[in-house]
Structure 1
Amino acid sequence: MAPSKSVARRDAELNPRTKTYEFLGPPGALFVTLSVPIMTYALYFGCSEHTGGCPPPLSSETIVASLSDPNWWKSLWDTEATLMYLSWYAFCVAAWFVLPGDWVAGVPMRTGQKKMYKINAFSTMLLALGLTGGYIWRYGFESFTFIYDKWVGLVTASILMSVIQGIGCYAASFRPGALLALGGNSGNPIYDFFIGRELNPSIGYFDLKSFNELRPGLILWVLIDISMICEQAVRRGGLEKVTDSMWLATAFQIFYVLDALYNEPAIFTTMDITTDGFGFMLGVGDLAWVPFVYSLQPRFLVFRQNELGIPAAIAVLAVNGLGYYIFRAANGEKNDFRNGKNPKNLKYMTTERGSKLLIEGWWGKSRHPNYMGDLIMAFAWSLPTGFETPITYFYVAYFAVLLIHRQMRDDENCEKKYGKDWHRYCEKVPYRIIPYVY
């Protein structure tokens, strides 16, 4: 009995009970758990040629009639789409195991250990693109339009996968020796299921959180964009007739994903990996929200085809280029500094803990300049859709709320970590994201 009591005592010391809530506690967690799937469906039914437009001419009577019809609920399920999604997920898992890749150490955990991560997301992306390109070359553009046709069924499958993983990870987190997230051990099952109870749920060396963060959803986002190009090419009579707006919207998004996967090691210093547990919040975000909400603009451009013209296209390119430059330059400064490098000889302040905080360069302009670059790029992704509807700008509004929430969480954690030094740092860098604005 003595060893089990010792293990229990060690686990209790290593995994203290969470005493503060985010998202307004369990009621807020329950609301987000239900609202994210609902909003994912709503963004399809509220902006689709199959329902009549963006937005369609809906009334409260029409909505109530649909929700009261069992056939409408049955239409959300598509067995073939589910099998396609499961095959895709299995492909990503197999690629993780089969493709070669370096092993990179993450940041030190509370145990003093560093988790090792396999780096092969970019090669997985290249393999997926190669297979997709070969399939389209062999069978034609019309063969890869099935994602557009089976959108709702694929959404349902991705949400189902998120729920299953959320429940499985929550149940597995109660095994002895599990390292829990400091914010996910409240004791309330609704909240802990949503926020993520275990920090790094893994099967052997296979880390579920980092895998979901970079592979199934992000790469599927690219394949969705390619499918939208194929759908428009079929409708317009050839690839050469695809609109410049479609090319721009998809190119921006595909490049964004390629860049993220190429710089895979950078993710291991983010809050998602170092601080948050893996629960339904990250699962549904990675697997359903990212691929099926972030691709709204290309899907819109399938049935609202828009030719920008050269001047407008150049302007949109410039906006995206500005955002990308800020995003990459800021992240480059941060990653160099965290790795003990300072090629620009930027000024920094040293805290009582011995930590060093940049106060010059992009990180002297705001405390989260990379978020500013992200927001500018998000705006550029929506510009090709024109100004016919505000729905295609949903991503910009949502992303702004998400980044502000992340900034507030990060600042709160830094205040706890650095104390009065954080207040001194905020005096030197007063702006949170956008200089002179916020």
Structure 2
Amino acid sequence: MIRKSAHKSTKDPASALNPRTTSYEFFGPPGALVVSIVAPLLTFGLSYGCSEKAGGCPGSWLQLPSDFAHAVADPEWWKAQWDPQGFVAYFAWYAFVVIAWAILPGEWVEGLPLRTGERLQYKINALSTLFLTLGAVGGLIWMQGPGSFTYIYDHWIGILTGALCMSLTQATYCYLVSFRPGALLALGGNTGVHNYDWFIGRELNPRIGWLDLKSFNELRPGMMFWLLINVSMACKQAVRRGGRITDSMWLVILFEGFYVVDALYHETALFSTMDIISDGFGFMLSFGDLMWVPFIYSLQARYLAWHPVELGPLWTTVIFALHGLGYYIFRSSNSEKNQFRNGKNPKNRTFMQTKRGTKLLTSGWWGMSRHPNYFGDLILALSWCLPTGFGTPVTYFYFIWFTLLLVHRQRRDDEACHLKYGDDWNEYKKLVPWRIVPGVY
């Protein structure tokens, strides 16, 4: 992670509770501005440059910008941007998820202590919301056929635009309300530079009543919509193939759907992540949750909707086994860590005692690398892309992006742990030298 020193204002002295942020991420305000512009453009570019209307996905990355530019130069392209039905449909979806959160039963759990000593409460019912949604969608498809759920495919751009507007609206709202008296700010989002704080997130836990916007957006509207997009793409393929979908489409729906269900099933694990503990809620997270995750992560299914790939029994088995390996590493390493944090060590793993009084695992999965769960995540990501074959590199964008994201997260974690443990962390890194992939990185 690259940090720059932020200017410390002498006119606005930082309080003890909300100290002024003295370092930047993403190359500071210029980097935040570039990401705020480029990330949405890239999402639209992948939608236009890699689509059925564009003739499929390009055979190289260099072709993608020219395809997008060619589309923009066409007057018909501009006419097609106005899709009020798709736009309204996205906001209706978001409203549905909010209503489901409010009316469906769910347990209230406490998060980790804030630096004020307070523990926020969160309602746990994401999985029941997903089951309600899938039940309604499944019933519709069962009664009226796959053609009844191609709406997302047919109104892709309008829905995509709605997601962008929602992410912009939420980021701006959360930034403005963060100036109210008593707001607890994120330690990394209080630089005093408007565009940077808007992007990175100024307030730590913005809420509307009991609704925690950050945790709600993290798992519900975007993650669930990702699965609905995949189902819609499968329905589009089925309509074109007489009701049948390919083995590659089945794998994508199964793998990515299982990932969504697993994340929602382990909803409480979200409250110990860096996103919830330390990051503010600004455009970076609102855009990532509402636009980037559902519309970029579903690229494989969208490609297969118009470019069917038949893998055959052998390659289906190989990819399925690779996915199983990734999930096993991801889940077993996380389980090992959670057990150890809760004072359990059933396999007598070795550990390092720190001066803070805490312990760091030095054997098992966490002795192989400092982030074995990231290693499992990378294998999972690759298994999602392989069913699309090798006709275009664009369907592997998720794997490339996810690799960069996890490397960035690992470096943030390393920096945070060094501040937390001091010299003990340097000793720990000697015992566990590999960052993510044992023997490689």
Cα distance in 2 between the residues matched to 1:116 and 1:194: 26
Does the 8 A contact of 2:124 with 2:267 survive in 1?
yes
Deviation at 1:197, TM superposition (A): 0.4
The one of 102, 109, 112 equivalent to 1:107 is: 112
1:280-308 CA distances to partner (integer Å, 9 max, x unpaired)?
A: 00000000011110000011111111111
1:31-430 alignment runs, 5 A limit: 31-55=34-58, 64=69, 66-67=71-72, 72-238=77-243, 241-430=244-433
C-alpha change, 1:10 and 1:262, in structure 2 (3 Å) is farther
Does the 8 A contact of 1:11 with 1:176 survive in 2?
no
Matched residue SS, 2:148: helix
Cα distance in 1 between the residues matched to 2:105 and 2:213: 18
Cα distance in 1 between the residues matched to 2:120 and 2:344: 23
Does the 8 A contact of 2:309 with 2:387 survive in 1?
yes
Does the 8 A contact of 2:48 with 2:71 survive in 1?
no
Does the 8 A contact of 1:219 with 1:257 survive in 2?
yes
Cα distance in 2 between the residues matched to 1:397 and 1:278: 25
Matched residue SS, 1:111: coil
Residue type of the partner of 1:80? Q
Counterpart check, 1:21 vs 2:24: yes
Cα distance in 2 between the residues matched to 1:168 and 1:70: 34
Does the 8 A contact of 2:56 with 2:307 survive in 1?
no
Does the 8 A contact of 2:201 with 2:280 survive in 1?
yes
1:138-172 CA distances to partner (integer Å, 9 max, x unpaired)?
A: 22210101111111111110011000000000001
Cα distance in 2 between the residues matched to 1:77 and 1:246: 30
Matched residue SS, 2:112: strand
State which drifts further: 374-383 or 61-70: 61-70
Does the 8 A contact of 2:59 with 2:392 survive in 1?
no
1:60-116 CA distances to partner (integer Å, 9 max, x unpaired)?
A: 877556435665345333110111111110111011111111111111111011111
C-alpha change, 1:203 and 1:307, in structure 2 (3 Å) is same
Does the 8 A contact of 1:180 with 1:197 survive in 2?
yes
1:216-236 CA distances to partner (integer Å, 9 max, x unpaired)?
A: 000001111111111111110
Residue type of the partner of 1:424? E
Residue type of the partner of 2:240? R
Deviation at 1:350, TM superposition (A): 1.9
State which drifts further: 383-392 or 57-66: 57-66
Cα distance in 1 between the residues matched to 2:345 and 2:75: 62
Residue type of the partner of 1:110? R
Matched residue SS, 1:103: strand
C-alpha change, 1:205 and 1:60, in structure 2 (3 Å) is closer
Residue type of the partner of 2:80? S
Residue type of the partner of 1:123? S
State which drifts further: 51-60 or 110-119: 51-60
Cα distance in 2 between the residues matched to 1:299 and 1:68: 24
Cα distance in 1 between the residues matched to 2:103 and 2:336: 33
Matched residue SS, 1:12: coil
Residue type of the partner of 1:215? R
- TM-score, normalised relative to structure 2: 0.94
C-alpha change, 1:380 and 1:184, in structure 2 (3 Å) is same
Residue type of the partner of 1:423? N
C-alpha change, 1:85 and 1:242, in structure 2 (3 Å) is same
Cα distance in 2 between the residues matched to 1:104 and 1:74: 48
Matched residue SS, 1:411: helix
Percent of counterpart pairs with the same letter? 59
Deviation at 1:198, TM superposition (A): 0.5
Cα distance in 1 between the residues matched to 2:86 and 2:351: 52
Matched residue SS, 2:111: strand
1:345-367 CA distances to partner (integer Å, 9 max, x unpaired)?
A: 22222211112211121111111
Does the 8 A contact of 1:245 with 1:385 survive in 2?
yes
Cα distance in 2 between the residues matched to 1:152 and 1:110: 42
- Any unmatched runs of 5+ in structure 2? 1-11
Cα distance in 2 between the residues matched to 1:235 and 1:60: 29
- Any unmatched runs of 5+ in structure 1? 1-8
1:401-438 CA distances to partner (integer Å, 9 max, x unpaired)?
A: 00000000110011111110111111111110000100
Residue type of the partner of 1:72? W
State which drifts further: 47-56 or 155-164: 47-56
Does the 8 A contact of 1:196 with 1:280 survive in 2?
yes
